[in-house]
Structure 1
Amino acid sequence: MTRTVGVEEEFLLVQRESPYLAAEGDKVVARAEEATKGRFDQEFMQQQAELGTAPHHDIGSLHADLRARRAELAAAARSRDVRLLASATSPLDERVTTTADARYEQMIDMFGRLAQMQLACGMHVHVSIDSPDEGVAVLDRIRGWLPVLLALSANSPFLAGRDTDYASYRSVLWGQWPTAGAADLFGSIEGYERARQALITSGAALDEAMICFDARLSARYPTVEIRICDVCADVRDAATIAALARALVSTMADQAADGIPAPTIRSELIRAGSWRAARWGVEEKLVDLATGRLVPAWELVGELFTLVEPALKSAGDDELVRSGLARIRERGTGARLQREAYASGGIDAVVEVLVEQTTA
């Protein structure tokens, strides 16, 4: 049976008539929920808003759901004279306002400036699992491929008007949290729970929701939640990566069922692979985590496609993903889109192209 897949996306809110972010998250979300039947949420910062899709078996339906939810959230933003921006870091200012919430206030008290200045927009892909045990088996086996998903989603080259030299600077900022990034092998659901509880007991996390591994068991749904990706400028890229992520989960679940052991890749090597994916996206070489060697990015993407191709074919997604990857290879990720816009018209042009692309 084909697994379901759903997506959560986080966005920036930008003032229409001035080059600043807009602290309108609570009002935009309230308006979106009032006007539609979609699922929208406030984020840590008032300059953000989040949407979530329903779980889908069909990637075409997921794509349509994402487009509809983006359009609804953008319409709610316009009602507040605000624009919706699919960028994983802010190309404008970094002025942020924490959403009024007791938990968020506790996070500020605990983590200080790290929390006060945290403004990052990711894409979280939820893939259904049969049990927590299967989920942990998947987590242990997808670790080495997650940096490829990051590279394909890279969409945060600018921060506060300056080029960071990274394709995904969001992942650099997000990596400052003590529970973020690559995790060691868990081995079992008991091992996962011990690791989770140790982080909470140690004070590195206030609660389960702050377990920010690159991939984790969802605290709310019976899913593996892949959290490593930037929010994509182009909704078609989001659908492509979601299909690829589902196929990866399905492939690794099958490997676990067949008794194939999880690769014993050291976490520091995975972090090195993620750093390189963040630095250059798919524009330079990536780390083949099976060998530790640098290989052309698209060669590694091709290896991932070949690995999961049976699962893609089983779900009817092989041609969709093949064409989606070809599109990213030809015109680049959101990072290239932003830099090309900047070259033609500075940060104002970056904002304009992102606003247009967000609901295209």
Structure 2
Amino acid sequence: MPDRHDPQQESPFTATREPGTPTATVPGRATASELTLGIEEELLLIDPRTGLALPLAEEVLGRVTGPARDRIVPELTRMQIEVNSGVHTGLRDLADDLLRLRDAAAEAAAGAGAAPAACGTCLAGDGGMPPLTDSPRYHRIHGHYRALLRGQVVCGCHVHVGIPDREEAVQVMNHARPWLPTLLALSANSPVCDGVDTGYASWRATLWSRWPSVGPPPVFESAAHYDALVETLCESGTILDRGMLHWLIRPSHHLPTLEFRTADTCATVEEATVLAGLVRGLVAALLADVRRGVPPPPVDQTPLLAAYWRAARDGIEGDGVELPSGRRAPAWELAGRLLDRARPGLEESGDLGLVATGLDRIRRLGSGAARQRAAYHRRRRVTDVAELVVRQTLAVPGFLTGLPPRPRPAAADLPF
């Protein structure tokens, strides 16, 4: 979609406070810096010369060494790996961790003749049933859901925010529902799939939405209400276990966190970090409302689903759907409202400058989806997109300083 905004105009994402400068904590409000953060991101393994997805996960994982060995793990298909960050409170520490893990994945993949690609879908070679990782659980999923797995080599980014109290986590989830489409729009990074421009900013979201437990969650009265519905889904065979509850936001089934599952795998570590900081700032602001007894906004499921579809199609460069009104609005306008909603938490943690600057950078340079699409349409070659994606995967965020020197392609320098 074309950009509806002039990037030379004054940006609404200009911060008024320097990064790393916390403000005083408002009584009764959770400080964002006190909320822990972690990221799970799925990476595609590709031939960097052709863009073809390669079923080399087992060989790549066998080549990972050092501290990263326990944090780079298998995924559903043998064309993917998953990177799990540590638990952090500082955004720069999180970014450093992710970059080191991506570097370790790249080193291991290079030995197998592949490269990790931070994108949401297969650029080429994703037309049928993917080769599954040899796991009893994954084979059981295949046997139960059958053709749903066709074309399902998709990669997402999950942001975990620590909220040990499950009652509070469920209530924050209720409050966060209207913002899920905008978070998808900001992270959209999968317009090219199987050799063509799909016309969607996030084709991953569209492919993934075929599963019966994917989408925005309903509103829950309590954690007990949540647990009862999940049990119903398990008993009906709609999901095989709690790990298959793929709502866009959920209390983690194995960690004391609230897990945001809206995003494509972000093109760069910088964009993943900005997403995580924005999510944590939002959670801090919403948790304050929950503790004050503020009810969640009245957003019906149908317009929320419509907004999610629109975000997947247009991404951040097009239109979104304002909630609860249901009217169309420029997606960047909705992103500005999201930043305003998260601003108290971002100010308290000192992250406003980093997040606002990161959003402004996306606005000026284009989203991951827009950059992929531009690379593809220059010559209509998937190989050009593959080159871009591989380069971005290892790009060093400008806000990271003092890192030990490490070899990397000169083309990995920003801008893209």
Instruction: Please give the residue correspondences for 1:101-120 in structure 2 after superposition, counting only pairs within 5 Å.
Output: 101-120=135-154
* Alignment partners' CA distance in 1, 2:36 and 2:331: 28
Residue 33 of structure 1 deviates from its aligned partner by 4.8
CA distance in 2, matches of 1:85, 1:147: 24
Q: Which has the larger radius of gyration?
A: 2
State whether residues 91 and 161 of structure 1, in contact with CA within 8 Å, keep that contact through their aligned partners in structure 2: yes
Which structure has more RCO (C-alpha within 8 Å, separation ≥ 6)? 2
The question of whether the paired residues in 2 share the 8 Å contact of 1:71 and 1:359 is answered with: yes
**What are the Cα deviations for residues 173-202 of structure 1, in whole angstroms up to 9, with x where unaligned?**
110110000111011000110111111111
Conserved? CA contact 2:172–2:283, under 8 Å: yes
User: Is 2:346 the counterpart of 1:327?
Assistant: no
Counterpart in 2 of 1:313? 347
The letter of the residue matching 1:194 is A
Q: 2-side partners of 1:332 and 1:267: how far apart?
A: 30
Q: Does 1:353 align with 2:385?
A: no
Query: In angstroms, what is the RMSD of aligned CA positions?
Result: 1.3
Whichever residue aligns with residue 110 of structure 2, its letter is R
- Counterpart among 210, 227, 232 of residue 176 in structure 1: 210
Partners of 1:217 and 1:88 in 2: CA distance: 23
Identify the residue that residue 243 of structure 2 maps to in structure 1.
209
Q: Does 1:258 align with 2:308?
A: no
Moved over 2 A (4+): 15-20, 33-38
Pick closer, same or farther for the CA change 1:84–1:193 going to 2, 3 Å: same
User: Structure 2: any 5+ residue segments left out of the alignment?
Assistant: 1-30, 396-416
Q: Look up the SS of the partner of 2:340 in the other structure.
A: helix
CA distance in structure 2 between the aligned counterparts of 1:70 and 1:246, rounded to whole angstroms: 22
Which one-letter code corresponds to 2:121 in the other structure? T
SS in 2 for 1:20: coil
1:143-182 → structure 2 map (5 Å cutoff)? 143-182=177-216
Matches of 1:18 and 1:163, distance apart in 2: 16
- What is the identity, as a one-letter code, of the residue corresponding to 1:41? V
**Is 1:25–1:49's contact at 8 Å kept on the other side of the alignment?**
yes
Distance 1:347 1:310 in 2: 42
The answer to whether the Cα contact below 8 Å between 1:38 and 1:69 also exists between their aligned partners in 2 is: no
TM-score normalized by the length of structure 1: 0.97
Please list the CA deviations of residues 44-84 of structure 1 after superposition, one character each: whole Å capped at 9, or x if unmatched: 00000110101111001111111111111111111111111
Query: Contact (CA 8 Å) 2:300, 2:324: kept in 1 or not?
Result: no
Alignment of 1:74 onto 2:144? no
2:322 is aligned with 1:291: no
The Cα shift of 1:36 comes to 3.5
* Whole-angstrom distance in 1 between the partners of 2:52 and 2:176: 39
1:267 Cα deviation from its structure 2 partner = 1.2
Report the CA distance between 1:35 and its aligned residue.
6.8
Residues 12 and 87 in structure 1, CA contact (< 8 A), matched pair in contact too: yes
Measure how far apart 1:220 and its partner are: 1.8
Equivalent residue for 2:118? 86
Structure-2 change in CA distance of 1:269 and 1:351 (3 Å):
same
Q: In the TM superposition, what is the alpha-carbon distance from 1:22 to its structure 2 partner?
A: 1.0
Q: Which moved more, 1:297-306 or 1:26-35?
A: 26-35
For the residue of structure 2 that corresponds to 1:105, the secondary structure is: helix
After superposition, give the CA deviation of every residue in 1:92-133 in whole Å (9 maximum; x if it has no partner).
Answer: 111621111111111111101112431110000000003111
Task: Give yes or no for contact 1:87–1:231 (8 Å, CA) kept in 2.
Answer: yes
> Which one-letter code corresponds to 2:188 in the other structure?
A
From 212, 220, 232, the equivalent of 1:186 is 220
The answer to whether residue 59 in structure 2 is matched with residue 27 in structure 1 is: yes
Specify whether residues 17 and 144 from structure 1 end up closer, same or farther in structure 2 by C-alpha distance, changes over 3 A only.
closer
Q: Secondary structure at the match of 1:212?
A: coil
Instruction: Specify which structure has the higher proportion of helix.
Output: 1
Which one of the candidate residues 42, 51, 59 is aligned to 2:91?
59
The corresponding residue for 1:8 is 40
Letter in 1 for 2:226: Y
Secondary structure at the residue paired with 1:224?
strand
2:404 matches 1:343: no
Q: Structure 1: which 5+ runs fail to align? A: none
The answer to whether the 8 Å contact 1:33/1:40 transfers is no
Please tell me whether residue 269 in structure 1 is matched to residue 342 in structure 2: no
Q: Is the 8 A contact 2:51 2:386 kept in 1?
A: no
TM-score, structure 2 length as denominator?
A: 0.84
Mean CA deviation greater in 324-333 or 35-44: 35-44
Shift of 1:321: 0.8
Cα distance between partner residues in 2 of 1:114 and 1:124:
22
Q: Indicate yes or no: 2:71 matched with 1:39.
A: yes
